[in-house]
A = this chain, B = another copy of it.
Amino acid sequence: MTDPATLTLAAIQRHIAERYEQVDRARGTPKTFLWLIEEIGELATALHGTDRANLEEEFADVIAWLCTLANINDVDLASAIAKKYLGEKRPEGHK
């Protein structure tokens, strides 16, 4: 398994693209958004529960679907995060 400590967001997004992008692009943004929301719902359920493994899995699924949505909309998530949260104009007191 990849060492999580060295795992870049770019590598995660690329991995999701390599495995799923062709199908994801064919599905398109609206249907992909529905999948993301389904996973968000499952995350809500997991946050209510006590199953830690399931909670971790649901967080992973939300990130995976967010990567998918970014891929089919040609958005580089790491660049977006760096620009908004790690640049000079980053939000100070709030997000």
Question: Interface of A with B (CB < 8 Å)?
Answer: 1-10, 12, 15-16, 20, 29, 33, 35-37, 40, 43-44, 47, 55-57, 59-66, 68-70, 73, 75-88, 94-95
Contacts and interface: CB of A to CB of B under 8 A. Distances in A.
A61 B77 CA distance: 10
A29 B59 CA distance: 14
Contact of A37 (B40, B70, B77, B79): B40
Copies in the complex: 2
A6 B8 contact: yes
A64 B9 contact: no
Contacts of A77: 59-60, 63
Contact of A44 (B8, B33, B80, B82): B33
